[in-house]
Amino acid sequence: MTPLKGLKVVEMARILAGPWAGQALADLGAEVIKVEAPQGDDTRRWGPPFIERDGDTTAAYFYGANRGKTSVTIDFSTPEGQAQVHDLIADADVFIENFKVGGLVKYGLDYAALKARNPRLIYCSITGFGQTGPMAHEPGYDLMIQGLSGLMSITGEASGQPQKVGVAVTDVVSGLYATIGILAAMQQRHTTGLGQHIDMALLDCATAMLANQNMNYLTTGTPPLRKGNAHPNLVPYQVVPVSDGHIIVAVGNDAQFQRFCTVLGAAHLGDDPDYTTNAQRVAHRDALTALIEPLTASFSAQNLLDGLREAKVPCGPINTLKEAFDSDQIKARGLQISPEGVPGVKGPWVFSDAQLALDRTAPKLPKS
Sheet containing strand 245-250, strands side by side: 237-242, 245-250, 315-317
**∠ Cα 255 258 263 (to 5°):** 125
Candidates 104, 79, 149; CA nearest to 13 is 104
Quick check: is 171 catalytic? yes
172 vs 17: CA distance, rounded Å? 6
Strand pairing category for 94-97 and 50-53: unpaired
Distance from chain centroid for Cα 78 = 35
Sequence length of the chain is 368
What lies within 8 Å, CB to CB, of 12 at 6+ separation is 34, 35, 76, 85, 95, 96, 97, 99, 109
**Other C-beta atoms within 10 Å of 174: how many?**
32
The CB-side HSE value for 180 (13 A sphere, CA atoms) comes to 8
The H or E element containing residue 99 is: none
Other C-beta atoms closer than 10 Å to the C-beta of 139 total 10
Rounded (to 5) percent helix, strand, coil in the chain: 40, 15, 45
Cα dist from 355 to 6, 65, 254, whole Å: 14, 20, 41
Distance CA 257, CA 32 (A): 49
CB atoms within 10 A of CB 307: 18
121/111 Cα distance (integer angstroms) = 9
- As a whole number of angstroms, the distance between CA 93 and CA 31 comes to 10
DSSP-assigned letter for residue 156: S
Which residue among 27, 41, 110, 171 is the active-site one?
A: 171
What are phi and psi for residue 114, nearest 5 degrees? Answer: -75, -30
Where in the sequence numbering do the catalytic residues fall? 171
